[in-house]
Structure 1
Amino acid sequence: MSGQFAGKTVAITGAAGGIGRQLCRFFGAEGAAIAALDRNPDVKSLVDELAQDGIACRAAVAELSDAPAVEAAFAKFGAVHLLINNAGVSRHNTLRQTDPAGWDEDIDANLNGAYRCAHAVLPQMVERRSGSIVSVGSINGLYALGDPAYSAAKAGIIAMTKAIAMEYGRFGIRANCVLPATVRTPIWDARKAKDPEVLKRLERWYPLGRIVEPEEVARVIAFLASDAASAVTGVALPVDCGLTAGNIVMSRELTLEDF
């Protein structure tokens, strides 16, 4: 796919995070100009970092809960050919620990923010009669794995993706989402500091025997956004090292003990 995104602008939310930075570098290496959006002011450092690799980047700081700020950021970016709704956060691990304000907070950060970004770019995509939106959901949107407000928001990402695909397909716009499982990003550093074996214990649940690497998520997003997937829209594609294929731990106990 080398150079397939040359001459196109790829807007990436949550660009300052682990997956976000990988996405910026991946699509920049594929020839895209990057429009990086994050609530963290560190996103501005990406401009210089990527410039060292010859990647053009514009950055904006905005809270995705702030609709006018989101609109202003995308007005600054101009033409956006691919939107990657990557921003996400989980602050409430259990339903019992989640009060109404916390529920609203996680829904707003993970679902409403993605909607606001899609709302900002869809009119220009309609005008061009082309465009692609790929949202980063989670397997939490399919299964109860904790983080209930986050999970409900990620289930909403799937529904929003299908709605965009249905309504905007006639304008040449495609919408898809990826559903990662555990991804090796800096967010796990604090957990590993407390429990160095945490990822090892998680790996046994994955049929491939490992967790997902950020670049693997980027490659699937690139496929969905590329001409190779020109007939693919409305899809929610797990990127999960096989986790959603079944319960491998139970299977080993029941039927695969000699496998």
Structure 2
Amino acid sequence: MTRFEGYGVLVTAAGQGIGAAVAHRLAAEGAQVLVTDVDEEAAGKTAAGMRELGHRAVEFVCDVGERASVDAAVAHAVDTFGRLDVLVNNAYACHPDAPLFEDEDDEAWARDLDISLTGAYRCARAALPHLVASGRGAIVSVGSVNGLQDFGCHAYSAAKAGLVSLTRTLAGHAGPRGVRVNLVASGTVRTPAWTDRGRNPDDVRELYPLRRVGEPEDIAAAVAFLASRDAAWITGAVLPVDGGITAVNTGFKGIAD
């Protein structure tokens, strides 16, 4: 498929995991992709791998916690590709909960909200004029089932719930200007976020009706759909891509914490 032929795309936190899978998927369908990440080496590795496959990909260091960094990334995408058609908000931060809520740390709480929610706001704010100009603009944010139900991680969950709200309010604002805004609510996905903590995501697979955890490509496929013209009459939507866990959640929290 070439649903994104001629598109300019910016993906945040694309150095690994879901972000890298999204970048690969959109590029495979014809997009020119700015692979951004706060980790310069990771962004470069992803972009180099894409170029080896014949795709057009450029790496760029972007910290969504800094307005100047976000503005620079958006400007670089427009300068490089001549346009910006799709923004994928994928960056997040998540610290473990304190044993007692009253022992939560202000700094850690603020960082989770700043990267996961305010970071998406910064990116959308910078990108929106260019998405309007494209005539086919779309924003897709990678959210979480944590923003829909209780799966632990207070700050991260609050941020992802806020991202759901931002998706809906921004959809209402941007729709008349020709820009669609949607969110993919992801369940457990096999990414370094698990393995770097010494955890095996397969420990929770039996809690999912489909009896497996997600792969980054599962989320990338949903992002590609929502970003494409196949979803031309969809905006303000929250699409759970979660193996059915939000339909039947039983006992997940105690195992996953």
What TM-score, normalized by structure 1, do the two folds share? 0.89
After superposition, give the CA deviation of every residue in 1:99-139 in whole Å (9 maximum; x if it has no partner). Answer: 11111111001001111010011012223343000000000
Cα contact 2:188–2:214 (8 A) shared by 1: yes
Matches within 5 A, 1:62-101: 62-78=62-78, 79-94=83-98, 95-101=101-107
Could you tell me which residue of structure 2 aligns to residue 222 of structure 1?
224
After superposition, give the CA deviation of every residue in 1:42-72 in whole Å (9 maximum; x if it has no partner). Answer: 2123332211111111221121111011101
Could you tell me which residue of structure 1 aligns to residue 134 of structure 2?
128
Cα contact 2:135–2:178 (8 A) shared by 1: yes
Q: From the superposition, tell whether residues 249 and 144 of structure 1 become closer, same or farther in structure 2 (CA, over 3 Å).
A: closer
Could you tell me which residue of structure 1 aligns to residue 162 of structure 2?
156
Structure 2 spans left out of the alignment, 5+ residues: 253-257
Amino acid at match of 1:225: A
What displacement does 1:3 show? 0.6
How many residue pairs were aligned?
Answer: 245
**Superposition CA RMSD, Å:** 1.7
Q: Which of 212, 230, 233 is residue 231 of structure 1 equivalent to?
A: 233
After superposition, give the CA deviation of every residue in 1:5-64 in whole Å (9 maximum; x if it has no partner). Answer: 011011100010211111111111111111111101121233322111111112211211
Q: Percent identity?
A: 39
More deviation in 44-53 or 55-64? 44-53
Task: Please tell me whether residue 7 in structure 1 is matched to residue 6 in structure 2.
Answer: yes
Q: Secondary structure at the match of 1:113?
A: helix
Amino acid at match of 2:207: W
Partner Cα separation in structure 2 for residue 120 and residue 112 of structure 1 = 12
More deviation in 119-128 or 208-217? 119-128
Partner Cα separation in structure 1 for residue 211 and residue 46 of structure 2 = 33
Structure possessing the higher radius of gyration over alpha carbons: 1
What displacement does 1:179 show? 0.4
Q: Secondary structure at the match of 1:26?
A: helix
What displacement does 1:199 show? 3.3
After superposition, give the CA deviation of every residue in 1:136-178 in whole Å (9 maximum; x if it has no partner). Answer: 0000001121111111100011011101110111111100000
Could you tell me which residue of structure 2 aligns to residue 257 of structure 1?
none
Q: Which of 133, 142, 145 is residue 151 of structure 2 equivalent to?
A: 145
Partner Cα separation in structure 2 for residue 183 and residue 247 of structure 1 = 16
Matches within 5 A, 1:8-87: 8-42=7-41, 43-78=43-78, 79-87=83-91
Structure 1 spans left out of the alignment, 5+ residues: 251-259
Q: From the superposition, tell whether residues 129 and 7 of structure 1 become closer, same or farther in structure 2 (CA, over 3 Å).
A: closer
Cα contact 2:7–2:32 (8 A) shared by 1: yes
Partner Cα separation in structure 1 for residue 130 and residue 155 of structure 2 = 31
Partner Cα separation in structure 2 for residue 210 and residue 47 of structure 1 = 29
Task: Please tell me whether residue 178 in structure 1 is matched to residue 184 in structure 2.
Answer: yes
Could you tell me which residue of structure 1 aligns to residue 255 of structure 2?
none
Partner Cα separation in structure 2 for residue 128 and residue 186 of structure 1 = 34
Q: Secondary structure at the match of 1:69?
A: helix
